[in-house]
Chain A
Amino acid sequence: MSDAILKQIEKVVQDNDVVLFMKGTPEFPQCGFSQRVSGILAEHGVPFVAVNVLLDDAVRQGIKDFSDWPTIPQLYVKGEFVGGCDIVSEMQASGELSELLAPLKN
């Protein structure tokens, strides 16, 4: 695993308030779990950067090492790893996600 990729990932995560690493794009998600999380973010009306990991195998592998998390999608808010599809769905149901994202709306 090259450090360059991890540094690149870190930069994206630090430079943007909300980042979603996903398979496909919000318009054309290519996995049901990625689709669910990007749909939830869209519902909150918060701007987010979507990184399509399918475009670069190094990023697809690198993001798993970055947070010691074996699956995609992965959501980052304010530089912190929030979770994958299950955690984001739970936080959506409990209202925690609204609280987390409220200050970041346009």
Chain B
Amino acid sequence: MTPSPEEVSQLLRQGIPDAKVHVRLYSGDDHFEVEVISAAFAGKSRVVQHQMVYAALGDHMRQAIHALALKTGIPKE
């Protein structure tokens, strides 16, 4: 089952506390565009930041989500 954008947001907020999350569909119901801003990313490489997001999505990422355009960032002071 493909998660809804709301479910994706919820998973990300659970997996990455304090995250500001923006999720939208850009094509069909399984192509997601996701932006995650969190202080938890500070000092981490982009690869690690993206791995944290993928981990929060768990099995969804390997199965139901066809495409995920991802942007991560650290909150500005």
Taking Cβ atoms with an 8 Å cutoff, the residues of A that contact B are 33, 64, 68-71, 81-87, 90
Instruction: Provide the residues of chain B in CB contact with A68, threshold 8 Å.
Output: 51
Contact (A87, B67) CB under 8 Å given A64-B62, A70-B54, A70-B62:
no
Query: In the complex, which residue of chain B has the Cβ closest to the Cβ of A83?
Result: B47
State the main secondary structure of chain B at its contact with A.
helix
Name the interface residues of B38-70: CB closer than 8 Å to any CB of A.
46-47, 50-51, 54, 61-62, 67-70
Query: In the complex, which residue of chain A has the Cβ closest to the Cβ of B72?
Result: A86
Instruction: Provide the residues of chain B in CB contact with A81, threshold 8 Å.
Output: 47
Task: Kindly provide the distance from the CB of A51 to the nearest chain B CB, expressed in whole angstroms.
Answer: 19
Contact (A33, B61) CB under 8 Å given A81-B47, A83-B46, A83-B47:
no
| Residue of A70, A85, A87, A90 touching B61 (CB-CB under 8 A) | A70
